[in-house]
Structure 1
Amino acid sequence: MNATIKDVAKLAGVSFKTVSRVINNESSVSEVLQVKVRQAIKELNYKPNLSARGLRGSTSSIGFLYDNPNSNYVIDMQKGIFKECQASGYELLIHPCESTTDTLEDEIMEMVTRSRVGGLILTPPVSDNMTLIKKLAQKQIKFVRIVSGSAPPDEFGPFVLIDDRQAAYAITRHFIELGHKELVFLCGDAQHKSNTERLNGFKKALEDAGIEVKNENILPGSFSFDSGVSRINQLIERGTSLATGIFACNDEIAAGTLFAARAAGIEVPRKLSIAGFEDSPYSRQTWPYLTTAKQHNVDIAKLATKMLIKEIKSTEATPQENQVFCPELLVRDSTTSPQL
């Protein structure tokens, strides 16, 4: 027979109400009792009756919405959300979508109704779609947004904020402190706010150092390996100085840049320093390893999910603090002082 909540309580030596509080992630239970209850749940392979909980007015699943070309980012987000869902007794519904489609709002509303999700985790660029955000708020559908920025961009929270601008500033300062004055920035997809924030951090660092921001050294593109390859070739075909350093908007672009540079006989980092962003596997699958900014995507996803579960369980409209993450500069072998 399947274990019951009373079986768990008996094995853990606590009341069944304490077990219920642990399952519902209530903060009133001490850490010691939480450990005992979770061990008992694991030993008995106890599964909470989520359908019964749904009948009492709550829901049993969380939806993860994404439209992102970076597969490593999506996998990390999925991993973090799933871990927190598993710990809290929720199912995870993964819903890829096209953020630019005219029918996105209707698609999401239908999915929420059909699947009875308790709330949504929104990642860029879906989290920047204000038409969708306003519709979700109007329908009182709970959500947490992961967005780029150091401060909330609007009133539709709660947010997990990624300070891409400050991290990009730190990478650019690293180039400048090495002695680089001629730098190129390779953009990602324009509809991603992270692209704009990272570009703004790059510009601000140059301006603060008294270095001219040259529009011809800011190249549009996409968050892809091939985009890095094509833009290095574009720079080579200019027939002018290639610059001494390249800041790519993510590691995938940077890896493509490194590949094409070495194929063209350009020594990295002696003749050309390259940095990426995010610390994805791409940054460690190249030689030399890429200088980058480490973004803790699994932790970010876990935190966003924990915030959402708190929203779902809340019976009152209580303001929730937004959380800010700043990716950390990781200096590796792909950047050095320019060799004259």
Structure 2
Amino acid sequence: MKVTINDVAKYAGVSIKTVSRVTNNEPSVKQATVDKVNEAIKALNYQPNLAARNLAGTKSYAIGFIYDNPNAYYIIDMQNGILSACKDKGYELVIHPCNAKSENICDELCNLVKHSRLAGLVLTPPLSEDPKVLKALSEIDANYVRIIAGEETKVGDGLTILVNDKSGAVEITQHLIDLGHKEIGFLSGDLHHESTKERLQGFKHALTKNKLKLNKDYIIEGKYSFESGVAGANQLITLENRPTAIVACNDEIAAGALFAARLAGLDIPNDLSIVGFEDSPFSRQTWPKLTTVHQPNTEIAKVATELLIANRREQHTTLSKTFTPEPVLRDSSASPHKQ
């Protein structure tokens, strides 16, 4: 038979109302009582009826995941992280893909919050970086957390998860420079993503720090896609003085660049080193496997959701956490081939 709230109350030796207050994460319950009820929930494998909770109370127990991103691996990692936190805290997940460039995006998200009775939103780039979206959500007093690229200076008000893409780009570019590369290309992602700008800044910073000249012909604008990596790499490897290494804005772009380079008869990494960013499955599915920068997207999403739920109970105005991606060295980078 299905375990009920009555069974949990009896097992823990408390009232049904107390069990309800614990499962609703109300802050006024003594910690000893919370521990006793949670022990009973675990022992009986009790699953609260979240739909009933949403209908019966004034509070909602659903978190919205808002995204506009073509990278399926990124979306899955984020979804898994949010789900993990939701399960721990007794919340459901509502997934809402959308078009960040839509003229009606602000109305769309505000209506979603109101009609779906969401407890909060996890906003990912580029929506988390759009001032119009943030202003509209703040005006309806929506609870949201932003995942954005940047450093501590970009925190501002509210809940923010910062991903220090610039630092990761500096480190991966420095890796290539330490190997002896001086002619290094850069394949950009979508320019309306702040991560693209941060990674390009990190690339340029590493060159400047090592007193290497920036060749504008080596910086190719593109999108976060395999096809963009193919097109961008073809531009670079057909230059009369082609670079000996390429920094790609993410692993999907890097995989496309590697495909194009091998199709052109280049040996990776002896003729050309290629590195990516994010450490997605793309980086491990290529041959050779990609040197990249590890970005813990599942953990980032989990922490973001935990901040969101905690803020709902405690009403903090500003909370932030910074993640700094770090290089993962594999087989696609080596010292430049000596003629």
**TM-score clears 0.5:** yes
2:273, 2:334 within 8 Å by CA — same for their partners in 1?
Answer: yes
**Change beyond 3 A, Cα 1:236–1:339:** closer
8 Å Cα contact 1:185/1:217 also seen in 2: yes
**Preserved contact between residue 236 and residue 243 of structure 2 (Cα < 8 Å):** no
The verdict on how the C-alpha distance between 1:244 and 1:236 changes in structure 2, with shifts beyond 3 A counting, is: closer
Per the alignment, residue 216 of structure 1 pairs with 217
Secondary structure of 1:278's match? coil
Deviations 1:186-242, CA, capped at 9 Å, x for gaps: 00001000000000000001100101112111110001111111112122333x122
What is residue 179 of structure 1 aligned with on the other side? 180
Partner AA of 2:39 in structure 1: K
Name which of 296, 318, 321 aligns with 2:319: 321
Question: What is the CA-CA distance between 1:157 and the residue it aligns to?
Answer: 1.9
Shift of 1:55: 4.3
Distance apart, 1:110 and its partner CA = 1.4
Asked if 1:191 is matched to 2:203, the reply is no
- Structure 2 residue identity aligned to 1:288: P
Contact 2:252 / 2:282 at 8 angstroms: preserved in 1? yes
1:256-314 deviations in whole A, cap 9, x for unaligned? Answer: 11111111110100111110000000000011110001111111111111111112223
Shift of 1:13: 6.3
User: Which one is further off, 140-149 or 305-314?
Assistant: 305-314
Unpaired runs of 5+ residues, structure 1, are none
Say how many residue pairs are matched.
335
- Is the alpha carbon distance of 1:177 and 1:12 closer, same or farther for their aligned partners in structure 2, counting shifts above 3 Å? farther
Question: Would the aligned equivalents of 1:121 and 1:144 in 2 still touch at CA under 8 Å?
Answer: yes
* Alignment partner, residue 70 of structure 1: 71
Q: 1:15 to 1:324 in 2, by over 3 A?
A: farther
CA contact (8 A) 2:50 2:91 kept: no
Counterpart-to-counterpart distance in 1, 2:14 and 2:231: 63
Shift of residue 156 of structure 1? Answer: 3.8
Q: Secondary structure at the match of 2:99?
A: coil
Say if 1:52 and 1:18 are closer, same or farther in 2 by CA, change over 3 A: closer
- How many angstroms apart in 2 are the aligned matches of 1:261 and 1:49? 52
Aligned match of 1:226: 227
What pairs with 1:120-159 in structure 2 (closer than 5 Å)? 120-153=121-154, 155-159=156-160
Please state how far the C-alpha of 1:151 moved relative to its aligned partner: 1.8
Aligned counterparts of 2:98 and 2:200: Cα–Cα separation in 1? 26
**Cα distance, 1:57 vs. partner?**
2.5
Residues 28-39 of structure 1: pairs in structure 2 closer than 5 A: 29=31, 36-39=39-42
Alignment of 1:1-340 (within 5 A): 2-11=2-11, 17=18, 20-21=21-22, 24=25, 29=31, 36-42=39-45, 45-48=46-49, 50-52=51-53, 55-153=56-154, 155-238=156-239, 240-314=240-314, 317-340=315-338
**1:2 shift after superposition:** 4.4
CA contact (8 A) 2:290 2:331 kept: yes
Q: Aligned residues: percent identity?
A: 44
Segment drifting more, 107-116 vs 138-147: 107-116
Whole-Å separation in 2 of the counterparts to 1:19 and 1:113: 24
SS of the residue corresponding to residue 321 of structure 1 reads strand
Q: Which amino acid aligns with 2:333?
A: T
- Mean Cα deviation higher: 166-175 or 47-56: 47-56
How large is the Cα RMSD of the aligned pairs? 2.2
Give, as a single letter, the amino acid of the residue that structure 2 aligns with 1:284.
R
State the TM-score, normalized to the length of structure 2.
0.92
1:35/1:49 CA distance change after superposition, 3 Å: closer
Render the CA deviation track for 1:17-41: whole Å, top value 9, x for unaligned: 3674365286963797586244225
Please tell me whether the aligned partners of residues 12 and 37 of structure 2 are also in contact (alpha carbons under 8 angstroms): no
Runs of 4+ in 1 over 4 A off after TM superposition: 12-16, 25-28, 30-35
State the distance in 2 between where 1:14 and 1:297 align. Answer: 40
Q: 5+ residue gaps in structure 2?
A: none
TM-score, normalising length from structure 1? 0.92
Q: Distance in 2 between matches of 1:117 and 1:72?
A: 25
CA contact (8 A) 2:185 2:236 kept: no
Indicate conservation of the 8 Å contact 1:8/1:19, yes or no.
Answer: no
Report the residue type matching 2:31 in the other structure: V
More deviation, 117-126/305-314: 305-314
SS of alignment partner, residue 238 of structure 2? helix
- Aligned partners of 2:37 and 2:220: how far apart in 1? 52
Give the whole-Å Cα distance in 2 for the aligned partners of 1:264 and 1:289. 18
Amino acid at match of 1:329: P
Task: Tell me how far 1:176 sits from its aligned partner.
Answer: 0.7
Q: Tell me the secondary structure at the aligned position of residue 267 of structure 1.
A: coil
Determine helix, strand or coil for the equivalent of 2:158: coil
